[in-house]
């Protein structure tokens, strides 16, 4: 199978987007070093790879990187800090801050320094209560990769979303302490907004940045704008959050939006006021703060795999011994240390091992195997149309997508086959039995029951996970819920022994966890379903996933009610939350089902909106 190299991917996307080497690598490495990455002489570490991708306007969770165990320890530490900051656990932040301050030799030092200065700023503000010191650390963080950001125009740089986030936080915190005048904040935040609109093509990344920048503008410079100017910013932020079903800065942006709508459209303000109150309740129920958290603008959600685990899994599946895999590559003892994560392979060793084990993909993993970023744009357009059930338009994008891809790739054949099957099923061209048969055939292109039995742990590709979900859901449609549960359980069973949590594989695994809990509830196992859903809501909050959060709250209400009739008061309140959340995200199917159930079991005269 074809393996896409890191370097060729960086080079082709950079050239397609007409970005110079100098702009792409400025502040983190030399042009000569980037050239070595692009021609394959060297391989960038995970941090640097994600940084380059973000500078080219792409979402880091479009790709998954295989890491050494040493690299992964740094990622775990970083993720733990992000989680503690998001939930306001400052004692945990302090403990983590002091636990691992030394540089990790396997990761880019510039990017590490930037993150360290950022955490130092959080520490100074939240723990030392030294606001001036916090702003100074934020400036250091930005200058680590954009040394003259206060003197130059943004168009002179190719900025990553992380750098944009840091700049936004710097101006906000500086304004709070009167170190920066409101006029300067206004000018710079608008420049950042314009940059995101023009340079960050991925809407998921834009949905993280624009609502945060909008909140900063509204909090610091709202009195410099009239109500219509504020509404334009608020509506853009709300639209992005709705389209991408995210929750970045959601309570605060809705608070501003409701306030300004009250001056211009009282009826619409009444609708959003109810939705705002529902989100406030959800945040409070789950223990998250509802005030504006600028730190959310500087966050990261990468997908990563552990190379040593992946090697073990594929060797088990192949039936080869360590001696057979290592023959001609390294000593069996060396290979053993590589497979246990005690040692990192040299680039040539890594390449040879991947080749011998027939690992079908290289350094990154997205939905598709491609070096053409335009394919990702088409994929996003297809998803938007499919989400709205506009299948005629979706099929047009699907056909164009297929024409631009290498269909010799098993992953690409699986993905396009799945899309074609889904369109055919959604439009009534094929039956449930037929789509189930076709999707099973696609899945067997890369994985069979026999292969799975040979390994305790298996890294499912993104498309393999999605195919499992599709098949399981169709089985449910056919009344085979028990079989569907078993089909999804094996995905979790084969991944639970990995050191990498599902937060790193959220796109795909979120649907596995939710659907499995939902199916267990349908089978009457309300206790297990309730436990799984409560754990799941915490993960949804961490991942800012509004779509699955809304569904999970509705399922929790249903499980509670069936477990004990005394829970009806709580269930009723949760159903109301789910009603407003699904309405906000325009999830019409789920929304209508909740409303129907509520009317039948609680209050058919319920007044949902208005006074």
List of long-range contacts for 88-97, beta carbons under 8 Å, 24+ apart: 88/288, 88/289, 90/126, 90/127, 93/119, 93/122, 93/123, 93/126, 93/127, 94/123, 94/127, 97/123
Q: pLDDT band for position 426 (50/70/90)?
A: very high
pLDDT tens for 543-576 read: 999 999 999 999 999 999 999 877 788 999 999 9
Question: At residue 107, does pLDDT exceed 90?
Answer: no
Question: At residue 412, does pLDDT exceed 80?
Answer: yes
Q: pLDDT band for position 355 (50/70/90)?
A: confident
What does each C-alpha distance from 541 to 202, 247, 287, 301 come to in angstroms?
21, 8, 10, 13
What residues are paired with 303 via a beta bridge?
64
pLDDT tens for 142-193 read: 999 999 888 877 777 899 999 999 999 999 999 988 888 889 999 999 999 9
Question: At residue 200, does pLDDT exceed 60?
Answer: yes
What does each C-alpha distance from 404 to 36, 376, 398 come to in angstroms?
28, 11, 10
- Our CA dihedral for 379, 550, 206, 220, rounded to 10 degrees, sits at 170
Nearest Cα to Cα of residue 508 among 557, 549, 548, 480: 548
Q: What mean pLDDT, rounded, does the chain reach?
A: 89
Show the tokens assigned to 226.
Answer: 């009239």
Q: Is 38 left (phi over 0), alpha (psi -120 to 50) or beta?
A: alpha
pLDDT at 213: 96
What does each C-alpha distance from 193 to 7, 103, 232, 243, 340 come to in angstroms?
30, 33, 12, 18, 46
Percent of the chain past pLDDT 70, that is, above it, reads: 97
pLDDT tens for 29-84 read: 999 999 999 988 888 888 898 899 899 988 877 777 778 888 888 888 998 999 99
CA 206 – CA 200 distance, rounded (Å): 7
Percent of the chain past pLDDT 90, that is, above it, reads: 59
What residues are paired with 545 via a beta bridge?
246
CA 530 – CA 551 distance, rounded (Å): 13
Nearest Cα to Cα of residue 338 among 328, 327, 326: 326
């Amino acid at each position: 199978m074809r393996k896409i190299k890191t370097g060729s991917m960086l080079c082709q996307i950079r050239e397609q987007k007409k970005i110079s080497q100098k702009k792409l690598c400025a502040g983190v490495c030399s042009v000569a070093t980037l050239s070595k990455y692009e021609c394959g002489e060297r391989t960038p570490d995970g941090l640097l790879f994600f940084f380059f991708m973000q500078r080219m306007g792409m979402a880091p969770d479009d790709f998954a990187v295989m890491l050494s165990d040493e690299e992964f320890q740094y990622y775990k530490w970083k993720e733990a800090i992000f989680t503690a900051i998001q939930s306001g656990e400052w004692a945990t932040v302090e403990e983590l801050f002091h636990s691992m301050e030394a540089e990790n030799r396997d990761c880019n030092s510039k990017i590490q320094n930037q993150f360290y200065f950022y955490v130092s700023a959080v520490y100074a503000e939240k723990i030392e209560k030294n606001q001036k010191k916090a702003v100074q650390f934020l400036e250091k963080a930005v200058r680590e990769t954009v040394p003259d950001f206060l003197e130059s125009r943004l168009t002179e740089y190719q900025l990553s979303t992380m750098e944009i986030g840091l700049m936004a936080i710097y101006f906000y915190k500086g304004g709070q302490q009167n170190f920066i005048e409101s006029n300067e904040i206004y000018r710079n935040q608008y420049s950042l907004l314009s940059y995101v609109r023009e340079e960050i093509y991925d809407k998921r990344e834009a949905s993280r940045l624009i609502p945060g920048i909008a909140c900063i503008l509204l909090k610091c410079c709202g009195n410099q704008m009239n109500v219509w100017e504020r509404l334009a910013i608020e509506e853009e932020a709300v639209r992005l959050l709705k389209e991408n079903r995210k929750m970045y800065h959601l309570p605060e942006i809705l608070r501003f939006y409701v306030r300004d709508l009250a001056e211009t459209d009282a009826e619409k303000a009444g609708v959003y006021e109810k939705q705002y109150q529902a989100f406030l309740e959800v945040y409070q129920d789950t223990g998250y703060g509802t005030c504006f958290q600028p730190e959310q603008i500087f966050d990261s959600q990468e997908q990563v795999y552990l190379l040593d685990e992946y090697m073990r899994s594929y060797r088990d599946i192949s039936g080869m011994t360590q001696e057979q895999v290592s023959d001609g590559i390294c000593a069996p003892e060396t290979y053993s240390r590589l497979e246990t994560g005690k040692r990192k392979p040299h680039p040539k060793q890594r390449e040879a091992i991947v080749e011998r084990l027939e690992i079908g993909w290289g350094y990154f993993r997205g939905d598709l195997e491609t070096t053409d970023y335009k394919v990702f744009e088409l994929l996003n357009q297809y998803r938007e149309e499919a989400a709205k059930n506009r299948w005629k338009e979706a099929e047009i994008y699907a056909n164009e997508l297929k024409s631009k891809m290498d269909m010799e790739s098993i992953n690409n054949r699986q993905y396009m086959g799945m899309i074609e099957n889904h369109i055919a099923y959604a439009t009534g061209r094929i039956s449930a039995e037929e789509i189930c048969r076709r999707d099973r055939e696609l899945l067997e292109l890369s994985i069979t029951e026999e292969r799975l039995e040979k390994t305790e742990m298996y890294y499912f590709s993104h498309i393999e996970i999605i195919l499992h979900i599709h098949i399981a859901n169709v089985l449910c449609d056919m009344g085979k819920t028990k079989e569907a549960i078993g089909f999804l359980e094996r995905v979790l069973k084969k991944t639970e022994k990995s050191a990498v949590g599902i937060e790193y594989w959220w796109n795909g695994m979120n649907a596995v966890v939710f659907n499995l809990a939902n199916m267990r509830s349908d089978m009457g196992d309300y206790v297990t379903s309730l436990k799984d859903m409560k754990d799941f809501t915490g993960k949804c909050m961490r991942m800012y996933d509004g779509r699955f959060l809304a569904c999970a709250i509705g399922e929790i209400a249903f499980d509670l009610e069936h477990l004990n009739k005394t829970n009806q008061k709580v269930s009723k309140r949760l159903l109301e939350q789910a009603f407003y959340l699904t309405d906000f995200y325009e999830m019409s199917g789920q929304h209508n089902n909740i409303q129907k159930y509520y009317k039948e079991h609680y209050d058919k005269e319920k007044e949902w909106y208005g006074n």
